[in-house]
Chain A
Amino acid sequence: MAEITLVEAVRLALARAMEEDESVLVLGEDVGVDGGVFRATDGLIRRFGPDRVRDTPLAEAVIAGVSVGLAVQGFRPVAEIQFMGFIYPTMDQMVNHAARFRNRTRGRLTCPMVLRAPYGGGIHAPEHHSESNEAMFAHMPGLRVVIPSSPARAYGLMLAAVRDPDPVVFLEPKRIYRAIKEEVADDGSEQPLDTCFVLREGTDVTLVTWGAMSVETLAAAEALAETEISAEVIDVATLKPLDMATILASVEKTGRCVIVHEAALTGGFGGEIAARLAEHGLMSLLAPVQRVTGHDIVMPLPRLEDQYMPGTDRVVAAARRAVEFA
């Protein structure tokens, strides 16, 4: 078994999916000859040919719309948007069409497509190359929103996303595209699209996160352990539909919760988790839910970026506050 990075795991899963199902097509700007801006599709065109791996013109709205058209005919398109900041023109198609075919046709037509995009900051890129707007998609009924946090998770979740009968928005944390290496078996086994994963068990506080922030959150748990605070870390992985049972079970045990995401605070997905804790877990809570997030500002370049990104220190401090509260 080889040790691979997250971006390599995405590629491995795409190749596997294309190998096992001829209806899987890959399309997007520069995904073919160039192999994608982050090389996520590198080599696929050589292996599967330009019919199945398509360099499209520069036209995001149509990339999404064409994918919907293909998908309702039984294809399984995997479309790449180069950066999440370019995803907005696709929202019309994703929200008004991809997300609603099943509903409008009362299940007679489905839309088994994947819209992939690298997302998130911390790579010293300008604003629209750094944003994390997962909550905008999670808000829309009819879409799954999936965010892997490690190579193995990326492989398993991507395979599940391609095989899923409904549209999946698959957001890849580009800051850790190459930061972590892990052994990943290319055995075609998928990971569930409706489950939060417990990355580390603990008893005093639950740290809930997803994507690249899992790195800082795990580091925070490590630091907290040195001061005798035992933190449980949950990787949400699939934001929609949300596996609240796993989060509630954890908070029942710890009584405290810190939610960590790099997207802006207001309207961020952390708010949804906090609201559900208030609705269904109030009696378990010993302390107010804490959120450690990005600020309600435009992502700044490049010298202030470190100030924007929630760091391990802020996670540790929030967990301490929760523990000291009660």
Chain B
Amino acid sequence: MAVASEAGGRSKSAGGRKRKASSAKPKATREELLHFYEQMLRIRRFEEKAGQLYGMGLIGGFCHLYIGQEAVVVGMQSVLEPQDTIITTYRDHGHMIACDMDPKGVMAELTGRIGGYSKGKGGSMHMFSKEKNFYGGHGIVGANVSLGTGLGFAHKYKEDGGVCLTYFGDGAANQGQVYESFNMAALWKLPVIYIIENNKYGMGTAVKRASATTDLYQRGAAHGIPGRHVDGMDVLAVREAGRKAVDSARAGDGPVILEMETYRYRGHSMSDPAKYRSKEEVSKMRQEHDPIDHLKQQLLEQKHIDEAGLKEIDKEIKAVVNEAAEFAQNSPEPDPSELYTDVLVEA
């Protein structure tokens, strides 16, 4: 996969640019690399556990796993400042873990318990954290793009120096309100980074069967929004592209589109017959492009850590995830009186 290529820009035309791989490898310190590794692995182990609990019938509703896409959210998170905001879709567990929400609260929401972030009434798609500036988890595909544009507007209006990261999928990129958002954000120079997580499929539909043009990073060209194509399986490439985008939005230059080329290993949701792709395709991606394996290789090659050290990290993460799963199974179910709360303000 190409590392990064650029499109758009206010003065240049975006059309027809070929993707080009940049040769310079982004650098990172040992601490940074280990932090990324730990973050990505934490998401993966969390998701594996969520998959298990779903299999055991403990999770109601739907459950969309993020496995395979970890580098995107971890790389982006590393360039944020505390006032920045984040909004995403229903494939949201990774985003919540990355912005340091409590895995216990996330898992307990999945199991519908009172200890969950939405008191067990929202489920996998609908969780929020005001403290962590995480504005959800949204199930209506494409709709969160308008909301993220509004979050960006608020940053600009308040002059708080914040930037909003608005994540959505390749499928969502075909919804009309995405373009209405692009226009408004470009017109008002809103500090919004539109992150298209192109995992190649929207439910069962491959990008090329749903999109007239598949270079999604160029989708803002008509509005003069610069776009970059990024290897979303490489956390350092993501960080590099993310930093540039965030810096420019923060400086008042308006929105940026980052198309993250990535892949989801699991089904669209837990009930997905996956008739639309081959097992070989999935295993090839896992074997050749896995973001965690890739970083692990780097860590070992550069002798930042040995196998024993890696095992230790995994053990610690597993303990955290197991604790979350315990909590999610033991937290009480919401009381029936909870049915009537939080519809309108209570007098």
Contacts and interface: CB of A to CB of B under 8 A. Distances in A.
A126 interface: yes
A58 interface: yes
B339 A295 contact: yes
A128 B112 CA distance: 16
B161 interface: no
A35 B175 CA distance: 21
A133 B119 CA distance: 25
B203 interface: yes
A85 B276 contact: no
Interface string B114-129: 0000001111111000
B125 A126 contact: yes
Nearest to B114: A303
A34 interface: yes
B335 to A, nearest CB: 9
Contact of A129 (B62, B122, B142, B273): B62
A301 B122 contact: yes
Interface string B194-222: 00000000111100011100000000000
A33 B275 CA distance: 8
B276 A303 contact: no
Contact of B175 (A59, A295, A297): A59
A302 B60 contact: yes
Contacts of A29: 202-203, 205
Interface centre among A86, A127, A295, A300 (most CB of B within 10 A): A300
A262 interface: no
B contacts with A: majority SS: loop
A126 to B, nearest CB: 5
Given A301-B112, A301-B123, A307-B339, A34 B276 contact: yes
Contact of B60 (A35, A61, A301, A308): A301
A30 B62 contact: no
Interface in A272-295: 295
A55 B175 contact: no
A interface, size bucket = 20 to 34
A contacts with B: majority SS: loop
A33 B112 contact: no
B150 interface: no
Contacts of A308: 339
B174 interface: yes
Contacts of B157: none
B98 interface: no
Contact of B210 (A35, A37, A55, A297): A55
A298 interface: yes
Contacts of B176: 59, 61-62, 89
A132 to B, nearest CB: 17
Contacts of A35: 275
Contact of A33 (B60, B122, B204): B204
A302 B264 CA distance: 26
A34 B60 CA distance: 23
B334 A126 contact: no
Interface string B227-242: 0000000000000000
B211 A57 contact: yes
Contact of A304 (B172, B205, B336): B336
B333 A303 contact: yes
Contact of B203 (A30, A125, A303): A30
A305 to B, nearest CB: 8
A99 to B, nearest CB: 21
Interface in A28-74: 29-30, 33-35, 37, 55-59, 61-62
Interface of A: 29-30, 33-35, 37, 55-59, 61-62, 85-86, 89, 124-129, 295-298, 300-305, 307-308
Interface of B: 60-62, 112-113, 120-126, 139-142, 171-172, 174-176, 202-205, 209-211, 273, 275-276, 333-334, 336, 338-340, 343
8 contacts: A30-B203, A126-B126, A297-B343, A300-B334, A301-B122, A302-B60, A302-B61, A303-B120
Given A35-B275, A301-B60, 6 more contacts: A33-B205, A34-B203, A34-B276, A125-B61, A300-B121, A302-B112
